[in-house]
Amino acid sequence: MASDLRNPEGVITCEADDEGKLGADAGILPRERDSLEPDKRTLKLSARTGWSSIVLAMLMASPSQAIENGGESSFLEALPVVLTVSRVPAVRADLPGAVTILDERLIRATGYRDLGRLLRLVPGMQTGQERGNSYWVTYHGLGKDYPNQVQILVDGRSVYSPAYMDASSHTGALALAIEDIERIEVLRGSDFATYGSNGYLGLVNIVTRHSRDESRANIRLTAGQRGVGDIVARASVQGEDLGMRVTAQSIGDDGFSGLSDSRRIGSVNLRADWRLGSTDWLLLTASHTSARRGMGYPDTLFNGSGLRDETTRAQHARVTWRRDIGPAESVEFSAHHGQERIVDEWTVHSEPPMVPLELAVNANNASRWTSLEVQHRFPATDDLQLAWGAEWRQDSLRAPILFYRQGTQQRDMARLYGNMVWRLDPEWLLNASVLAERVSGLPTRIAPRAFLIWQPTPGFSGRLGYTRAYHQPSIAEQKADSRLIHPSFGLLQRRLLADPSVRAQRIDVIEGGVLFSESGAGTLDVRVFHETVTGLIRRIPIDIPAENPLQAAVQAFLGSSSWQNYPRRVRLSGIEYEWHSPRYGGSQFLLTHSLVHTSGGSAAIRRGVASHTASLTWLQDWNGWHSSATLFRRGRMDASTGFLPGYQYMVPAVTQLDASVWREFNIGGHHGEVRLTGLNLLRSRQEVAYNPVQRAMGNRIPNVASRSVYASMSLEF
């Protein structure tokens, strides 16, 4: 008998049906099963709105009959009834927090080639590009130079690499084809109680397609402006108890106009789902990636960010075994290993009237990580679902430029967590979690999360909750000692010097929300929040005594810095919401809006948070043709990289438009698609600044997000 395994790698473990596939409502408490009848289980993809749209949506919120689709396929299907948020399967209305789902059809409709751009469709995400081959991603700002507070997962597997102080760097180089993605689940808020410190302020889980959902091979070719050239080939094989998919891709472009930011990424991904028996499943994922990225700017001071190519080679493998013990009960074990090597070299030199000299910079690094995880989910009673688990992870990083004479850095981490979902009565639900995390050399941190959820009717859910989360200092934030040393002249600069007293930053969140779903009014999700950050880790300038006159001269220009805890509390309060309209006449609209007020911090900290973000997406059918258009807005903020002591720069507000139009066809029984996509169709604007260059250029803008138009064709065979 054929089998299926859906998302075992991401804490969603469900009972298998008669064909071995996981039941959508397995493990759901009785109240939820009753609410999942066909006319009431259409929880559509969250969308976005402004204040006026919320009022409009509420006025429209009256019972009505389901909208007929006339046999046409919707851009957005019903949301999955289980989500990787609390490690216990739950319908969206039962989740402890606000969750945005970007499903396969929306992802496809945008025509986007990168994950970072898709996250613009999530309310509260403040994103941008300093250059064409990387993304700057934060949730509610506070990311500044190295945004590292959002956890990014692929099928529940963390893509965090010790080599990156900012985890979001990987959003531009993930070894993952867009075609492999089934949906993206985004928890808007803290998820320390489930995933630990990397889930400090936001969680993104990319769920890939199950190998048994595909039986054909397909290929996509893309070409366009700025050297866009992609080839993606995918093939699947099926057996009685085994499904396997291999995806090979080569993607690349020349980046933004006038910048050295080209990229070429080649990768091979494997996913295999294997049924071992009537109750046992095995999942294997593996990848190999080779990437080259253009870096730097011309004529920077001392050539401190010189033009060069950075190359990356990375591999990973993960195996997950799951046993279904009974209805809604399972045990799961997983092991994961990854490694990455980055080569990044260039030469710095002095400027007149200083003594002429040159110095080779070696920013090469190599990292490895290994993790083991166990999870057990079971029903204690008909109304109480429990889950517990443990994880161990070891990271190692060798980066001579960051750790002067310290050799390879190693860090061990251990986590123990528990979660419960308790149906108190037909209208009330309690969802609670707690996690303890121990990182070598740092104190153990314990943090809870608890949400009380009210569900008076099948289409309405109100939630009120409290969350505490910690973000542990990274290896660099805790141990960095970066020096430039000339073989003849000695020490030239101590660029970074870690403060050993730096401690984990903490966030306490009180939030409330409403999820409303009605066939005639669409789906409205509102989140009101008050977030208090204690001990914010921030990079600040410090004074280090010079050992020689040349060092004094260099540090007078470039300065030195360290990561330290901000002594005052920083508060973020606001509201964010998304609205997904019903479909009328082939049209559908998705609106998002987020308003954030920052208080308690310094002016520099407050400038690092955009007061608002918004997006409006229009999806349309045109008698065989299809189109999408997204208008994006991000408020004025200090979005920048390249720390420069004493320098601050505000990036003006960004308003931009993307659009895509496509048509599907069939030739000889082979399904295909032709598409034209345009990005940044409005006036080109700066999204993220690079401080050293921006200061040198004054009011001129050295890096604008260029317009890009590209065409693609795909074919199944």
Phi, psi at residue 185, to the nearest 5°?
Answer: -105, 125
Looking at residue 488, its pLDDT comes to 86
Q: DSSP 3-state assignment of 529? A: strand
The closest alpha carbon to 670, from 20, 36, 219, belongs to: 219
Overall CATH class of domain 8-472+504-535+568-716: mainly beta
The three-state DSSP-derived secondary structure of 190-232 is CCHHHHCHHHCCCEEEEEECCHHHCCCCEEEEEEECCCEEEEE
Cβ(534)–Cβ(469) below 8 Å: no
Counting as low any pLDDT under 50, the low residues of the chain are 1-79, 166-169, 171-173
CB-based burial, 450-489: b 16+ in 10 Å, e otherwise: bbbbebeebbebbbebebbbbbbbbbbbbbbebbbebeeb
For residue 327 the two structure tokens come to: 């209805």
For residue 302 the two structure tokens come to: 């001392």
Cβ atoms within 10 Å, residue 183: 22
Q: Which helix (H) or strand (E) holds 59?
A: helix 51-60
Q: DSSP 3-state assignment of 240? A: coil
Looking at residue 300, its pLDDT comes to 87
Looking at residue 643, its pLDDT comes to 86
For residue 198 the two structure tokens come to: 């990397």
> Could you tell me how many residues make up the chain?
717
The closest alpha carbon to 183, from 274, 243, 239, 121, belongs to: 121
Quickly list H helices, 511-653. Answer: 549-558, 603-606
Cβ atoms within 10 Å, residue 503: 18
Looking at residue 396, its pLDDT comes to 95
For residue 225 the two structure tokens come to: 């402006």
Whether omega before 353 lies within 30 degrees of 0, making that bond cis, reads yes
CB neighbours of 184 closer than 8 A, spacing ≥ 6?
101, 102, 107, 115, 118, 204, 205, 206, 207
Task: Give the integer Cα–Cα distance in Å for 209 and 154.
Answer: 11
Looking at residue 35, its pLDDT comes to 38
Cβ atoms within 10 Å, residue 661: 17
Q: Kindly report whether the global pTM for this prediction surpasses the value 0.85.
A: yes
Residue owning tokens 């299926």 = 4
The partner residues of 193 in beta bridges, in order of sequence, read: none
Query: What is the DSSP-derived secondary structure letter of residue 377?
Result: E
